[in-house]
Amino acid sequence: MPSSRTRVAAVAAAAALAGGGAGAGAVALSHGTTVKTVTTEQPAGAAPVADTTLTVGQIAKASTAGVVEVDATSTGSSSSPFPWGRPSQGESSAMGTGFVYDGAGHIVTNEHVVDGASTVSVKLSDGSTYKATVVGTDPSTDIAVLKIDAPASKLHPLTLGDSGKVQVGDGVVAIGNPFGLDSTVTSGIVSAVDREITAPDQSPIEGVIQTDAAINHGNSGGPLFDLKGDVIGVTAQIESNSGGNDGVGFAIPSNTVRSIADQLVSSGKAQHALLGVGVRTGANGVVVADVQSGSAADAAGLTAGDVIVEVDGRSVTTAARLRALVDSHAPGDKLTLTVHRSGDTKTLTATLGSR
C-alpha cells in the first residue's frame, strides 16, 4: 500500500484503477479565453512575426487525435520500482498514455509503462486498437518508443517544441487517460523548471518541468503542451501525500525526449552524451572542479577552475542546468561553451562523448 509520506510516484495506472470511477473526480475547465495575437516590432520592410496563444479548447481539438492509450500486459514479476506499477506476480496489466511521434507509426510513452510487458497494444482516439512492437526503451530517461502498423490516415503526429524556452508561469495543457478516462484534458501553469526526478534505473533526469496541471495514474507517457500547441514534455511522475493529484506533477522535457526518441527509432538503443567534467554551482556560473582525461571537455581545453556561463548561447547558472543541456544532446553533438578563466572570457567547442 502507498505510504502516507510525500513521495514521487509514477503515474501509470494498474488495470484495477482503470475500472474504478468512484475515485476519480471531475475537473471543469474554462475554454473561454480569447485568442491573443501579439505582433513584435520589426525593421522597416520586414514581415511581421505573430506569436499566437491558443485556448485550451483549441489545443484539445487540434491535438487529441494524436494522443493514444497504451495497454501493457505482463506475466510474472516486473522490475519497475514505482509503487503504482503492475503487481509483482501473475498476469497483470498496466495502462498509460502515449502520443504519435511520426507518420511511420512510432509512439512515444514512458519506459515504466511497458517495463516487463509481454504484449503491448495501442488504442487511437477513434477507438481502433493495434498491437504494438517495443522498438526500444531507455530506463535512464524513462522514455520508450513503440511501433504500430496503422494507416497513415489514422496517424496524427504531434509537434515537439523547445523545452529550453519554457518559463515559470507559462500556461500548459495535459491530455491523457487518467484512471482509464480517455482523452482527459487538464490545464495549469509551469510551476518550476530545471527540477530533477529519479528514473526507473535510479539515474537522475535533469531539466524536468514541474506543473500544477492535474495528472494522475494513467497519464504516464502523455504529452504536456504549451499554449502554441507544441509538446514541451512527457508527463511521468507526481509527488503526493494522498496518492492522487496534489498539484505537483513532473514532465520529462521535450528536448530530452527528442534526443532519446530519435535514437530509439534509428537503432533501438539510446546513448547518453558525456562532457566529462565534475562541476558545482558557483556564484556566477558553473565551476569546473575536475576534467576527465581524454574526455570531450579535455579535448575542448576546459581546465579545473574554469567557470562555464553559457552553452550554445544559453545562460548556465547551475550544475543541474548544465547537466540538463548535455543530456538533451546525443554523443557526437558539438557544444559551444562560454567560460570565464582568470578574468578572460573564452569560447570553446566540445564534441560530446558517450557514457
Nearest alpha carbon to residue 322 among 252, 283, 271, 275: 275
Give CA–CA dist 10/91, Å, rounded.
20
Count of H helices and E strands in the chain? 6, 24
* Beta-carbon count within 10 A of 308 CB: 27
Catalytic one among 220, 240, 295, 328? 220
Give CA–CA dist 226/237, Å, rounded.
18
Is residue 340 annotated as a catalytic residue, yes or no? no
DSSP state letters, 57-124: HHHHHHHGGGEEEEEEEE-S-----STTS--SSSSEEEEEEEEE-STT-EEEEEHHHHTT-SEEEEE-
Is residue 112 annotated as a catalytic residue, yes or no? yes
Residues 6 or more apart whose Cβ sits within 8 Å of residue 58:
35, 229
Give CA–CA dist 136/140, Å, rounded.
12
User: Three-state DSSP class for 137?
Assistant: strand
Catalytic one among 115, 142, 226, 306? 142
Type of residue found at 349: T
Catalytic one among 74, 93, 112, 156? 112
Is residue 272 annotated as a catalytic residue, yes or no? no
Phi, psi of 348 (to 5 degrees): -120, 150
Catalytic (active-site) positions? 112, 142, 220
